[in-house]
Every structure is written in C-alpha cells, then in structure tokens.
A and B are shown apart, each in its own frame.
Chain A
C-alpha cells in the first residue's frame, strides 16, 4: 500500500517560482483527502490537517517521468537554456573509463576537435548507447533559473536514439547491395 505525500510543497510550477517537479496533473494534484476508516497513526504519516487522511494510490509510484512530462520539461529547458556552443559528436574509441570522440561545431565557425571524455559525463541511459560510431549532441550553455534569474553553467551530452533494424530493412539493403553488384558488373 502506498500513500501520497502531502500536497503542500509537492505541487510546483514555474509561474509560482519553483522548479517544475512535474507537469502531469495526475502527479501533482492534491491527494491529501480524508480516507474513511483510517486513523493517522495507523497510516504512519504526519497529517498536517487533522481532518484529512492520506488517500491510497493504487498505481505504483513512478520514479521515471512520463513521455508527457519529458516533453514539457524539454520545452521548459529549451526556453531557459542559453546555448553558447553546440557540437555534433561521433564516438571513435571507447576505453576503460573514457571515450574518444570527434566534435564538429554545429555553427561551422570552429575547426573539428578530438576529445577524450570521462564516461562519468554520461547519464546511465546514454552510457548504454556508448560504442564506436554512436552519434551524440553536446551543448554547453547557461541555464536561467526562475524566478530570480540565477545562471547555472550547464554541459549536456545526449546520445542520438535511433530505431532498431528490422529484418525487412536488412533484406531490402541486401537486395540493393545485390543490385549494385549487378550494376557494377561484379
């Protein structure tokens, strides 16, 4: 049995000046509703309002954001991230605790660079995609925090997520390869 935490402090939105915790209304609604038949002590929580009791949540608590939440978060991040530099990168070599990549300036104003980065710079999700040939996007910029407008320097690496090969796509590529061989007289 899981219970929601008090709504006070959990609900947050950008307009109120707090960092957005969740944009999902299901996730942020007031849940401190009285539950008939349960005393506060039995529930093991401190009820700030004695006439209210926690409500039971039937779904398990989600630690990962939903797609909708991610979308809203990305939109908000886009609005507040001032990008100073963007690169496209390709992984050239993966070493024990680091990886080597070629960086190409997206603006075209700077020459290509080759860098060695710690694997620690990557999120666990991106780490799974780390292999030679993997493509990533690296942005360095300032994040403008609301409401006071503090600036935080930010480095963000995000790996390209591509669909998996299907058997039919591979079969089609094979047919094209055979056709190319015929066309070239091989």
Chain B
C-alpha cells in the first residue's frame, strides 16, 4: 500500500495528470459532493457538484483552474447522479462553463412527471433556492444549445443501468444503475410530489430515497474504480446494490478504488458490493454528511469501513464548526433548538492517481482538509 501524501499547507503546485494517468478526485463536503475523473489524454468527466465554501464556486472548476485544465475544451461529460441538493447545487454553473460537455442524468429525469415538477414554479426565497431550480437552469442551457443548432450537446444522455458513457483506448465509463425497477420507483416518487389543485404551493423537497443514483464503473488501462454515488441497499434485488450485482459479468476485473456509497452510511452498505466487486482492502474515499443531528459516517460506520478498507480517507471536516452569533442570539438558540450543527464544513479534496506502470496501485494525495478515516 502506498503511503499517503498530504499536500495541505506545503504550497505545492498542483499539476495535471499525465495523458495515460487515471485520476479520481473527490471534493466535499462544502455544499455537496463532487468527483472529477480524468478519462485520459486530457479529457475529463465531472460527476455532481460541490460548492467550495471558500470560493463559493464549484470545487471541480476551482481545481481545473489550479491545474490549467480548460473547462471549455477538456470536459467531455457532466453527470448528475441524482436529484439531491447536496449533489446538484452548482451543476448548472459547471455545465455552462463546460460548453463542449455532454450532460448526462438518470433516465427518470426525462419523464413527464419530473418535467412537470421542474416546470411548476419552484418556490423558495433569495437565500433558499429550490433544488429544482438547478435542474430548470440545466434544461434551459440544453434548450439554448439546441436552439443554436447543437443537437448533440443539447440532448441529455439518459442513463440506465449498463449505459456506456465514455469509451476510449484509455478508459471506459459504464453506469451500474439505475435499474428499470428503480426508474419506475423514482417516477412514482415524483408523482407524489406533483402539485394538486387547492393544495398550497411549497418548495418541492427532493425524494428521500437514493436508489435512483447513478453508480459508475470506471475501467482504465491503469486501474479500476467504483464510484458508489448515494446508491443504497434495497431488500429487493432488482433495485439498489442488488441490481448492480447483476452487472458483474460485464465488469472487467475488480475495482481497487471505491468512492464509498452514501457517505459511508449503513443504508448505503451492501456487503456483496465489497465481496464481489472490489479487491480485498481497496482504497476507499468518502465525504461526510449531516442532517438534523445525524452524522454520517458515525462510529459504527467508521468501524465497518475501516475493517474493510484500512487506508480509507475522508474529505473535508468530519464535524463542521458552528459560527458564533451575538450572546443573546446564542442564548435563544440554546433554548429553542434540540440540536444544531453547521450544514457546511470546510471543503476537502482527495486525489487518487494511477498509471499503467503502477499495476493497479493508486497514489492517494490529501490535497487539503482531508484525513485518514481509520486510526493508524
């Protein structure tokens, strides 16, 4: 196992990967989680969006600026794995900057039910943009492209299970989800959110379940990675990780690097994924997540992941610091709230690279605000 290099605070100048080098860069939490994948020969793919809390810009775009990658010319695909605020906010800005990138998303998003949600006035406030507005903006960009005569870039790539998103001599990217059953389930979930006459207008909440997430299999000449998105375990084998296992015959070899699904939570854990799709003790990367006092990964998640992947690393602050208010406000908050936590921790960046000569051994660098998950 390669030692971890921590580049934080060294002032090290970051450089772009070699043409034959596969790279998986994970950003999070900030506002969300995002992954940049070097597909080879200077071509990139961006998966989801994470707003860097220092710059308030998509972290992947900031990184490309640091390593002199042209968003306009070198990003081939922008993928939305699912519709959750912590994965989608900032994606429209990414797509606009990456003007030659194709946009890919789950097949469920092409349904009338989802489009009707997008086209219903998505209400919010200046400070609280509704999650659907991001999609509305993405669709507006695609329409602009089509109106300009660029049908290829103006037509979204609809992703089902086993969709090949990119294929070159260096690398192939294939989707492992969503399964057909999951797409049907997602559409039913959208239908429950549709506006009804006489029902009060509201900010449409994103569905709770993550089975519709697009998990990816990145197979390069130098290494193989499994990007688990927020895909969760399901009791039925035609959805969630159970359905992914049905793709196993299509996958070449096993992955030696995994972006742990759903922030390392127990709901995203399916032991069969670790046993059947990954090598023993793979490199594992993840980002934390918090909601209403529930923090993932929690201690039990940490123990479970560390037993399977002792070299696991986590991006960003595991516990974000709360801002301080005036004493009177702090007193009232103490009295009024059951629990309180910062929604956004400092954004971290983990980078894993692998060349053909590395023979599947990834070099993992903690670029900033990242750390080992497991005790030495």
Q: Which residues of A contact B (CB under 8 A)?
A: 84-85, 88-93, 98, 100, 102-106, 108, 110-118, 121, 129, 131-135, 140, 142, 153, 155, 160-167, 169-170, 173-174, 176-178, 180-181, 183-186
Contacts and interface: CB of A to CB of B under 8 A. Distances in A.
Nearest to B321: A111
Interface string B319-333: 010110110110111
B332 A155 contact: yes
A164 B115 contact: no
B128 A88 contact: yes
Specify the main secondary structure of chain A where it touches its partner. Answer: mixed
24 contacts: A85-B326, A100-B291, A104-B128, A106-B127, A111-B320, A111-B343, A112-B344, A114-B341, A116-B340, A133-B204, A135-B123, A135-B125, A153-B331, A155-B335, A155-B336, A162-B202, A165-B197, A174-B119, A177-B112, A177-B115, A177-B118, A181-B110, A184-B142, A184-B155
Interface residues of B, number: 59
Contacts of A121: 336
Contacts of B127: 88, 104-106, 108
A177 B116 contact: yes
A133 B336 contact: no
B195 interface: yes
B120 A173 contact: yes
A122 to B, nearest CB: 11
Nearest to A175: B119
A103 B293 CA distance: 14
Given A177-B119, A184-B139, A165 B332 contact: no
Interface string B331-352: 1110111111111100000000
Interface in B87-125: 110, 112, 115-116, 118-121, 123-125
B202 A131 contact: yes
Interface centre among B128, B335, B340 (most CB of A within 10 A): B128
Interface centre among B139, B143, B200, B322 (most CB of A within 10 A): B200
Nearest to A161: B200
Contacts of B325: 84-85, 110
Contacts of A166: 197
Nearest to B323: A110
A77 B310 CA distance: 59
A113 B336 contact: no
Contacts of B337: 115-117
B50 to A, nearest CB: 14
A155 B343 CA distance: 21
Contacts of B332: 140, 153, 155
A126 to B, nearest CB: 13
